[in-house]
Homo-oligomer: A and B are copies of this chain.
Amino acid sequence: MTSLDAATVDLLGVLAYGELMAFERMAADAQLAPTIEDKISLQTFANAEFGHFKAIREHLLAAGADPVEAMAPFTDAVDAFHDSTQPSDWYEGLIKAYVGDGMAADFYREVSKYVKDESARALVVASLADTGGAAFAVTHVKEAIAEDPSIAGRLALWARRLVGEAIIQAQQVAVERDALLQLLVGSGDLAGITRLFNTITERHTERMAALGLSA
């Protein structure tokens, strides 16, 4: 038996699988890198995601929960997100790493406030720490747009598609996972939920502005 409540196991499960797949897809997207330096940079960030995955997996094991069982309910949604958002070039890959991971991190950070278990909450927050990938993506995407402003429109549409696909999959997960939904809704803090979506939207707009793209 696990010492964690169902909602926390769900949260750690979706976060673990999310980190595992973020790592896997980022490692694959590094094949698009224009230089060895760029490849090493992206692979270093990908590796940090794997480190986060390992930490969550160990936490679940230590709490007596089966990590694979905890991840299983979320594999379809996370896989579907990645399958529908395969970058066609290096810059789409960078934006996916920055915008996609950033939005997911904002969501998990807000949700973690409702987690009762203190060490689980600290783990969630720690595993969302930016590993330098954000600054790297911003610098490179801005440079590329400065060199060829005509790509900005395509990249802005790409970012919008990332958001759309993320919302579709998040909704599917919310419908299917009562415990996770109750973590939010059951808190009774409806103003908090409104704040959550406002915060995510605001931060997304900030990230797009940092990239030099319209949200």
- Write the residues of chain A forming the contact surface with B, with a CB cutoff of 8 angstroms: 17, 20, 23-24, 27-28, 30-31, 35-37, 39-40, 43, 46-47, 50, 57, 68, 71-72, 75
Task: Report the nearest B residue to A71, measured CB to CB.
Answer: B36
A107 to B65, CA, bound (A): 43
Q: Chain B: which residue is nearest A25 at the CB level?
A: B31
Residue of B nearest to A30 (CB): B24
Q: Separation in Å of the A40 CB from the closest CB of chain B?
A: 7
A-B contacts, 9 listed (Cβ < 8 Å): A17-B36, A23-B43, A24-B28, A24-B43, A27-B27, A37-B68, A40-B57, A43-B50, A47-B47
Query: Do A40 and B24 form a contact, CB below 8 Å, given A47-B47, A50-B47?
Result: no
Report yes or no: B23 in contact with A75, Cβ–Cβ below 8 A: no
